Amino acid sequence: MAQVTLNRIVKEYEGGVQAVKGIDLDIADHEFVVLVGPSGCGKSTTLRMIAGLEEISRGEIRIAGNVVNDIPPRDRDIAMVFQNYALYPHMSVYDNMAFGLMLRKFPKEEIRRRVENAARILDIGMLLDRKPKALSGGQRQRVAMGRAIVRDPKVFLFDEPLSNLDAKLRVQMRTEIKKVHQTVNTTTIYVTHDQVEAMTLADRVVVMNHGVIEQVGPPQELYHRPLTKFVAGFIGSPAMNFIPARLANGGAALNVVLPGGITLPVPEERSRRYAAYAGKEVLFGLRPEHLTEIRPNDHRPNLAHLQLTPEVVEPMGMETLVYTWLEGTEVSARIDPAVAAAPGQALPLAADMGQMHLIDPQTDRVI
Amino acid sequence: MSATAATPSAAIPGLGRKIGSLRKERRWALITAYVSLIVAAIVMLAPPVYMLVTSLKTSAEISNPVGTPWIVRNPTLENYGALIGDPMFRGFFFNSIKVTVLVVCVTMVISVLAAFSLARMKFFGSQVLATGVFLTYLVPDTLLFIPLYQIVGNLGLLNSTWGLVLVYPTLTVPFCTWIMIGYFASIPKELDEAALIDGANWMQMLTKIFIPVALPGIIAATIFAFTVSWAAFVYPTAFITRPDEMPLTIGVVSQLIRGDTFAWGQLMAGALLAALPPVIVYAFLMDYYIAGLTAGATKG
């Protein structure tokens, strides 16, 4: 069990291209941290530098207080689970899991005990004699996790472990990973491009973009209080709606004025925060779940009513997604499935202004 | 049959005709394939069959052919008996086995190590080296034997099977290395990364992961090295003149052809006996080779 500290980590390739641009991150003992971001954001490179599979151009990585920059992967006391499982195809499941311990010259009895224990945790006891090619994708990923667990390392590293699985299995394995972490409680760093995985698994989510960290925080904090437009748009599915607008003084209160003249009142408690932006162009952000049907006896304060015409209606069972246009921008709304909504038919909607976000278009930071 | 009327092909206009034409195409494809294969098999098998037929004939029958030469009238094993009973022929056989086993071992050790380092350990000039290794294979042995004669002579290894053990790898190592580079390169990078994290060093990674996983490639390379070494003709012809150091390929030819006298029966028997070890090796290793190639080829 260990802390992991990244101190101004840079990864620079030949020709000066920087994949990781000086990131700082402290990961606490037992913590489950998820690095999330789009392709090419530097999340996998960061993980591989922690693993020792990629050289660090500048900066310092510490595992359990020791600088590991020049320590080879085998001496870092880490275990890694790869996207394509990376099981040894010629070895049985047992040997795959035991391989690391055999190389470290563990006594046979101890190896057996650990492999059987890991097999029990992952429910793969009946597969120990099989070769990887006789396993399904989900079983292979369990074996890959078993290989990590038996080592009892200081840190678990996961590199997009669920990307090769189908949607149903992915959800199932996600829960398995969470259970395993709750059981073994090892410090875990997990890389994914899937924000749902990030939100569901992490104690803290690290959102990366273009080689820098955009924001670090618990899932709920990232969701409710994003610091940048990127984080606001990346976390949440469907993504937050962004509508170009102007912040206007309407007497005592502020109003968000959309391009076509629609005026939405800013809640009073936000007036002070936004005061400096009065009269300026801003980006008005609202999540689909805050653009809903008008409910009878709705006690939510700060509701603004809109009349929109859906272009596409997607019934999901527990909710219905409605795609429509608002002042030239495509927006999505999340409504109760009981509400009758049809393409081309006007639908009254309520924007919960208490949940709005305003973004400075100059800096892309949330105001 | 009335049931035919209910099949989809009958229900959809034109589909029946389409299926009919597909069957016809398939039949023609099969006929063409069989005819080509039979012709190819006849062309390939005619020489060994003729060799076998001739080896079973007496010298008298060979020199006075009556009717078709493809039929043996008085089959005999005397040609085989004479060869197997001849200590010199057994010496050729032993020399060939000794040279081939040593060459295959030397080749595999060098080419597996070279291929592993060229395929996986990125170092300065590794790409150029990999190409260079293959380029050396493009120089034919008929050109190389003159300078090699000089080298082998300077080392005092002319007229010695050890000279052949030294020289044959120049033929086998480049190609085997090239085959192995291909096999090693096809092993996913994550496998070595997993092994590195599991605690393996480079040598353990090679012996415990790469060699077992690339076994089909290693067998292919072994078969190649074996065949080249067993069948080599130019180098032993150039470097060996002493009968007791000769391998089979030149031993049979030099001892069974005296001036213009050809001991055809023994020549054919010798050639067939010489072909036996490669046939055994192929038959034995091919199963592993093909099993290795097909295992895991489909998604598990």
The predicted complex's ipTM stands at 0.82
Mean pLDDT over the full length of chain A: 87
pLDDT in tens, A113-147: 999 988 888 888 898 999 988 888 888 888 988 89
Average pLDDT for A81-89 = 88
CA proximity to B116, closest of B194, B206, B222: B206
Q: Which residues of B touch A134 (CB under 8 A)?
A: 300
Are A51 and B193 in contact (CB < 8 Å)? yes
pLDDT of residue B28: 92
Using 50, 70 and 90 to split pLDDT, how confident is the model at B2?
Answer: very low
Rounded to whole angstroms, how far apart are CA atoms A332 and A334? Answer: 7
Domain boundaries, chain B: 2-55, 79-294
Rounded to whole angstroms, how far apart are CA atoms B146 and B139? Answer: 13
List of domains in chain A = 4-227 (3.40.50.300), 241-366 (2.40.50.140)
pLDDT of residue B155: 92
Q: Which residues of B touch A52 (CB under 8 A)?
A: 196-197
Task: Please name the member of B190, B198, B215 whose beta carbon is closest to the beta carbon of A99.
Answer: B198
Contact A68, A76 (CB under 8 A): yes
CA proximity to A36, closest of A177, A152, A185, A204: A204
Task: Classify burial at B299, counting beta carbons within 10 Å of its beta carbon; exposed 0-12, middle 13-18, buried 19 or more.
Answer: exposed
Residue B201: closest C-alpha in chain A? A74
Average pLDDT for A96-118 = 92
Average pLDDT for A65-91 = 89
Q: Which of A13, A85, A99 to mutate to probe the B interface, most B CBs <10 Å?
A: A99
* B174 to chain A, closest Cα gap in Å: 27
CA proximity to A5, closest of A75, A56, A81: A56
Encoded amino acid at B172, one letter = T
- Higher-confidence residue of A300 and A94: namely A94
Are B194 and A78 in contact (CB < 8 Å)? no
Query: If you average pLDDT over each of A269-273, A277-281, B97-101, B272-276, which comes out highest?
Result: B97-101
pLDDT in tens, B49-58: 999 999 998 8
Determine contact: A136 vs chain B, CB below 8 A. Answer: yes
- Higher-confidence residue of A226 and B286: namely A226
* B142 to chain A, closest Cα gap in Å: 42
Determine contact: A147 vs chain B, CB below 8 A. Answer: yes
Q: Which residues of A touch B191 (CB under 8 A)?
A: 86, 88
Rounded to whole angstroms, how far apart are CA atoms A308 and A264? Answer: 14
For domain B79-294, the CATH class is mainly alpha
In this prediction the pTM is 0.79
Are A51 and B190 in contact (CB < 8 Å)? no
Rounded to whole angstroms, how far apart are CA atoms B161 and B245? Answer: 6
pLDDT of residue A218: 93
For chain B, the residues whose C-beta falls within 8 A of a C-beta of chain A are 188, 190-191, 193-201, 204, 208-209, 212-213, 215, 295-296, 300
